[in-house]
A and B are shown apart, each in its own frame.
Chain A
Amino acid sequence: MTYLAKSPWIFHYDASSCNGCDIEILACLTPMYDVERFGIINTGNPKHADIFVVTGSINEANREVIQNLYNQMPDPKVVVAVGICACSGGVFRECYNVAGGIDKLIPVDVYVPGCAARPESIIDGIVTALGVLEEKRSKNIHSKVVTDHERPERHNHAQGGAQ
């Protein structure tokens, strides 16, 4: 086992979640679940993080943000979609402003379904993500820089500012 699996720092982004899943994620940090036992820290900064935890689905306002944050994470990195909204759009998938689950935009490694996802399953999802993380490290996989192909006019901005 390498250090990577012992010290997964997560970065949590609330896409368009109803806050249900966010509260469950925060619950993981409380004395009840205490994920710091596993070395998990919620960093709040993509540049320090190993695991990108996203709740909620994609909409117009956040699609750029999700991409930028993802691109700003150093390799190796994995994405965990927490809650059914993040997995597929959930109850909001038919909405006029929702584009669907976040795998429409960035590669998702672990799906944690549930509405809201329970803390146990979130922790389980993150532990699963550790395996993926480890695999990526050992195979030295570099994640691609994500750009929004569906929207060519935004293409230039996707890297966080190429032009």
Chain B
Amino acid sequence: MQFVQLLVFLILFPLIAAFFLLIARKDLEREWIVKLSALAIGIVSVYLLITTYDKGTLLISAIPAEPTGLVMFILEMLIAVYILYLGIKHKKWLVVGLILVQSVMMLYFELVYSHSVHVQANLFSDELSIIMALIIGIIGSLICVYSLGYMKFFHEHHPEMPDKRTWFFGTMFLFLSGMFGLVFSNNIIWVYFFWEITTLCSFLLIGYTKTEEATNNAFLALWMNLLGGIAFAGAIIWLAMFGNGIMGLDALTTSGKVIALIPAALIGFAGLTKAAQLPFSAWLVGAMVAPTPVSALLHSSTMVKAGVYIIVRFAPVFDSTVTGYMIAMVGALTFLLASGIAISQSNAKRVLAYSTIANLGLIVACAGIGTYEAIWAAILLIVFHAISKSLLFLATGTVEHRIKSREIDDMNGLIVRMPKIAAMMVIGIAGMFLLPFGMLISKWAAIRAFIDAPYGFVFVIMLAFGSALTLFFWAKWMGKIIAVTSDSKNIEGEVDRSEWAALVSLAGLTFVTTLVFPMLSTHLLEPFLMTNYGHIAQLSQDNIIIMILMLFLLMVMPLSILLPKHKHRHLAPYMGGRTTTADMRFSGSLGVQKKTVLSNYYLQDWFGEKKLKSWGIWLCSAVICIMILSAVFRVVM
């Protein structure tokens, strides 16, 4: 069966690539391996789409469960031992404790229950898996290609750091493999295995630079995700004990609330940790210490998307339960608070981090509400967010290498200094919050979904406020980039070819996905919603036409630069009549030269990170407690 081979290829091929990357010693070899495997992964994931988009859900029982399961268990235990060793070595006792608890749980399960578990199909694929596979396969591999140039530059300019690029690229591809496995697994135990692989990879990548800060943040990410892992393991044991051994995702989501609600709540909790929702947001912000491609990978196509993916998977179980609303509430609160915190951040990567957390919050909110419209919005958000966010991260990384700063205020006049990269960045930002682009379409869909849901008005109000905050921090950043400073020179120079290829592809994707989104919706989203919910959600034809019109308008406008035009007289900016030099220096009182410095508003008093975060941690923790309790009550009562 050709289809099985495709799935297996996607899961195993990155693994093989990772292996070869580990043994490749020369730069050139590595470059070719990365480029070719990225190309292969991209092509195969598109090929998967072409061959299966109209086939609906496909279950695969061809893979023998017993030996594979055993191999997975052994690997899991090896990983546990490795983490245990690192935990003891770095004296991170929390991590040690958590990994011990988790391993004992899995050991217990393996010894007592594993024989009573029977899963018909271990792998499967439906429209959601395909969409996820496309995101991982295309965006993930673009990021890997980008890393080639970035890491070279990184090590040239940080000679003090040990050059362990073999490890780096190996882990990146292992990560992709884990993600593919995650989205194609039907067996929960398999999902769990791949889940742990992503946790491990993110831990390794965050700690890549081996500085103290990096190590600490890596362990922070590790313990938070281990917490989720324990919840996941708990769900598996619960299913084995009370769920008649149902372990297939397909069976679970239709098995009724009595069986599925508690495991769904536990896995939902695991999803919240992985998606960096509020009490656990710190690890994603901390992950900023890693090289930028790692952040791009974590934020756009892998890791956090695994968290929301699993919640979206379980959305039918959450449908109109208190548990679902509480998950949605965590998401909505996170969206609101993280958007606020993003306003107060001056570091570009931190702004991006909080914006990711916020957008994931929105996805979680949609998934928690779980109506067909909400799920439609959630999947759209996953897709569009992945594209724009990876573009923004990669552009920021390239800029950072040139201006040696991540501060947004230092990006003043970027359009003059690095016109091409600045244009990419502007496209990325526009993709995050302006109209014809995907993110806004998704937000729009979310508003409509919320209105129709019970108690939806609460979520609508939170969304309305949250999107106002979002607008503020994106627009002020965009303003910084497009400010035309008269004294700056073009310092763009040669951008590395691989970096450039990734940037242009992602910018192109931003436009293309917005254009083909109606097709995406009819061919992938609607069948998915139809099979799972019996309804479809879509935008009316008129609105789609209008948006495509706007998109064209937006694309045509910049071309006006090409038109012949007469030169306009240029005036100096108004400085109250003071004589000002081209680099905006003026003589202040007593003839002292002053430099005009324009800085964004950060509104620290209102949106200070400390204040909002502690609020969010308490609130969301409380909501999560209610969520778990409500699931227990519902089942027990």
| Interface of A toward B, CB cutoff 8 Å | 13, 45-47, 64-66, 68-69, 71-72, 74, 154, 157-163
Is A158 a contact of B571 with CB atoms below 8 Å?
Answer: no
Q: Which 3 A-B pairs give the minimum distances between C-beta atoms?
A: A160-B572, A65-B577, A161-B581
Report the contact-size class of chain B (Cβ under 8 Å from the partner).
10 to 19
Q: Does B578 contact A (CB under 8 A)?
A: yes
Q: Binary interface profile of B, 566-585, with partner A (CB < 8 Å = 1, else 0)?
A: 00010110111111111000
22 contacts between A and B (CB under 8 A): A45-B574, A46-B574, A46-B577, A47-B574, A64-B578, A64-B579, A65-B576, A65-B578, A68-B572, A68-B575, A68-B578, A71-B571, A72-B574, A154-B579, A157-B581, A158-B579, A159-B572, A160-B575, A160-B579, A160-B580, A161-B580, A163-B581
Q: How far is the CB of B154 from chain A (nearest CB, A)?
A: 39
Closest B residue to A73 by CB, please name it.
B571
Closest to A157 in B: B579
Q: Nearest Cβ in chain A — how far from B489, in angstroms? A: 16
> If A46-B574, A68-B572 touch, does A163 touch B582 (CB 8 Å cutoff)?
yes
List, in ascending order, chain B residues with CB within 8 A of A158's CB: 579
The residue among B569, B571, B576, B578 with the most chain A CB atoms within 10 A of its own CB is B571
CA gap between A72 and B570 in the complex, in Å: 9
B residues at A contact (CB < 8 Å): 569, 571-572, 574-582
Complex formed: what's the CA distance from A103 to B574 in Å? 23
* Contact residues in A for B579 (Cβ distance below 8 Å): 64, 68, 154, 157-158, 160-161
- Please determine whether A161 and B572 come into contact, CB atoms closer than 8 angstroms: yes
Distance from A143 Cβ to chain B, minimum over Cβ atoms (Å): 11
Distance of A46 Cα from B573 Cα, bound (Å):
11
CB contacts between A and B, total, < 8 Å? 43
Give chain B nearest CB distance to A54 CB in angstroms: 12
By a CB distance below 8 angstroms, the chain B residues around A64 are 577-579
Known: A46-B574, A157-B581, A161-B581. 7 other contacts (CB 8 A): A47-B574, A68-B578, A71-B571, A72-B571, A74-B571, A160-B580, A161-B580
Docked Cα-Cα span, A161 to B582, in Å, equals 5
Complex CA distance for A47 and B569, rounded to whole angstroms? 12
Please report the C-alpha to C-alpha distance between residue A12 and residue B281 in the assembled complex, in whole angstroms: 55
B578 proximity list for chain A (CB < 8 A)? 64-65, 68
User: Bound state CA distance, A71 and B577, in angstroms?
Assistant: 10
Q: Taking each of A65, A66, A154, A161, which has the highest tally of chain B beta carbons within 10 Å of its own beta carbon?
A: A161
CA A157 to CA B571, docked complex, whole Å:
13
How far apart sit A154 and B578, CA to CA, in the bound complex (Å)?
13
**Which B residues are CB-close (under 8 A) to A65?**
576-578
Q: How far is the CA of A20 from the CA of B479 in the complex (A)?
A: 43
A102: min CB distance to chain B, Å: 13
How long is the Cα–Cα vector from A66 to B580 in the complex, in angstroms?
14
CB <8 Å contact, B582 and A72: no
- With the chains together, A13 CA to B578 CA distance in Å? 13
Query: Which chain A positions have C-beta within 8 A of B569?
Result: 74
Which B residues lie within 8 Å of A154 (CB)? 579
CB <8 Å contact, A162 and B574: no
The distance from the CB of B484 to the nearest CB of chain A, in whole angstroms, is 15
Across-interface contacts of B581 in A (CB, < 8 A): 157, 161, 163
Enumerate chain B residues within 8 angstroms of A68, measured Cβ to Cβ.
572, 575, 577-579
- Residue ID in chain A nearest B579 by CB atoms: A157
B609 to chain A, nearest CB (A): 38
CA distance A71 to B570 in the complex (A): 10
B580 proximity list for chain A (CB < 8 A): 160-161
List chain A residues, Cβ under 8 A from B571. 47, 71-72, 74, 160
Return chain B residues, CB-CB under 8 Å to A160. Answer: 571-572, 575, 579-580
Please measure, in the bound complex, the distance between the C-alpha atom of A64 and the C-alpha atom of B578, giving whole angstroms: 7
Closest to A46 in B: B574
Measured between beta carbons, the chain B residues less than 8 angstroms from A162 are 582
Bound together, the chains give a CA A68 to CA B154 distance in angstroms of 47
Cα A45 to Cα B573 with chains together (Å) = 11
Chain B residue with minimal CB distance to A145?
B569
| Nearest B-chain residue to A68, judged by Cβ | B577
**Chain B residue with minimal CB distance to A70?**
B577
Specify which chain A residues have a CB less than 8 angstroms from the CB of B577 in the assembled complex. Answer: 13, 46, 64-66, 68-69
Which residue of chain A is the closest to B576 with respect to CB atoms? Answer: A65
Q: Which residue of A lies closest to B577 (CB)?
A: A65
State in angstroms the CA–CA spacing of A65 and B577 once bound together. Answer: 5
CB neighbours of A66 from chain B (8 A): 577
CA A154 – CA B579 in complex, angstroms? 10
